[in-house]
Structure 1
Amino acid sequence: MDNADFRVIASEASAFEGDEYVQWRDRFLSKSTRIPRRAAMLATGFLGPCNEIKELAEQADLIVAVGGGYLRGGSIGPAIKSWGAHYGQLKLAARYGHKAIYLSQSIGPFKGVYKRAVARQLAKIRTVCVRDDRSLSEFASVASVLRMPDLAVLELARQPRPSGVSTPLSDDPVIVARELSRPRRYYELLDEASKSKQFEWALQSTGGGNDDLPLTQRLGTRTPRPMAEVLADESPRIVVSTRLHGALSSLIAGFPAIHLSYERKGWGAYEDIGLDDFVLNARDATLAQVDALMQRILGNPDAFWSLIETKKAEIRSTENYLLDVISSVVNGSQQSATRSWEAS
């Protein structure tokens, strides 16, 4: 798709640069400078998007939703956010469902009327990829929903086996923290890790509502480096990351990673790559458990990477299937993608 013309409909287009980013907005309220952007976005679920966005959807050969945890409604707060930013987009994609694909994301939980509304729209989408078993179970009645690894997992499977697996790992592990709701003993774990002085504290996210800098500065003993800078270091080190994509980006870079998971997506991703033993519940994990896993990796790094190698062929097979689905949409095939996958 080197010659493809992309348009990105974003809930906050100003965060990006380029004419290809279009602000998600409704037909009427967004024209007023007195109405906050987020308030105006809530109206899109009822009023629909502006004419510019409708025309883009009409003219597109392919409509793609990126991965994320955007569709959820288990309580009032997430439901309102989901409605304002993403339910209207789902309705628009469903209108052109024959050429729409939802890439791997976690969907749910939902309750009552909102769940039924989301299920009706998902059923109109050509293919809906979910990255964890709970999402698949919640929408088992929707024929277009299928299980597919996280996009970062697909990227990991494309990578050759790290050339430095036989290189001794540094004794200076890295930890990535983030704020958590309903933390239970999570902050006790972080305080214990901070007092141990054995970790470098690094930053995976610093934008918008996902700013880990204040917490990381409090826990660390020096100015935290971005993970991109840490992963550029010559010697690989063990990474302990609360953020899933901090863990996955570490694995892609050849750094063994333990994930402190707080959502279903973490367990799904680590199951897909064969690292079930190296994911802990962030809210209940202890430093002793983390230390035990680090010692297991240090004792036999090759065994750690071999777990991933055994899953790569399976992951690449699912990615090839996804690429075939995308090609069939662009080429105008009306074959049911889900039925084809089940029969293969």
Structure 2
Amino acid sequence: MSGQHRSSAASDLEPFVAPRILLVRLGAIGDVVNALIVANGIRHHLPAATIGWAVHPLSKPLLEGHPAVDRIHVWKKGDGLRGFRGVVREVRDSSYDVALDLQRLQKSALLARFSGAPRVLGFDRGRAKEQSWLWTKERILSGHPREHMVLQYQRFLDLLGLPRAPLLRTLATDSESEAWAVRFVAEACGGAAPILLNIGASKPEKLWPEASFRALAPDLERDFPDVPVVVTGGPQDVQMGRALGQAVSKWHVLTGETSLRQLTALLSLSRGMVTGDTGAMHMAAALSVPTVAIFGPSDPLRTGPFGRGHVILQGGEPVALPASLSCLPPRVRCPMAATSPAQVSFQMRQSWLR
């Protein structure tokens, strides 16, 4: 049955009154955000299901308290073989009926296979990495490698036999984080919805230069004179955030100061975000916050912000997500600096001042 999927949810899951389903998507933040469509889809169609998720600590806050996740299995990256054995024992004790490898790597596929679940689902051979397809028993239908990851994850719902439904990536938050965001916007932003400049990225080649962010200041002052600007990023971005704050004193700098829950709450109160290809971009897209997303070496067709209301720039040119995979534009790789501040400002005016 490799590479096959069935159209009837009843035929796939009829033996289980309340199936126990394990999702393995260990990281990174953006990948976990996009994979939430699988958990949300299962919860929508099978509200009595028990859904577990194996994840690395970095992305754990995205899943804590999430209405579509019942149990979290944390695999600490630095614990080596001992950590792997520990998380395997934990998932085996949970007696899952189905395990889904949503990461397509050897380590994620091995965890799904060793979970003890009778059904182990994974990526098709052409899109799997490290020959991880060898460890799975059922695989999603083959597809184009540049298909957006959200749509690739949707194929797991197809393989489970679940009817297609709206693709939901709801993010969890909490009352404390929401109160912090409301207080910050009231006190620092005068109650106005801010524009966020997210300066961080997981890889240096995905960083838009500090000088480019700084050069946005005159255009932001001209085009959005009454809109506060907040600089966000992770602990590794503190130095760059401080430099921007010193260069543009009106900007509020929060680099390294927000948790994922706080960033979720702040995004929900924001007017829009300028960002590179990073987890915060996918969080904004999941919350339907308009983004101007700057891409360089990575493929925006596959990992760009999913949904409407977003602008993608690569090499300074807008990138439109195609209606069909049969007419894809050529793959482009370029430096992040190939997109200029003027091009970003133009798209902000076009998209956010209508």
TM-score between both structures, scaled by the size of structure 1: 0.41
Tell me the TM-score normalised to structure 2 length: 0.40
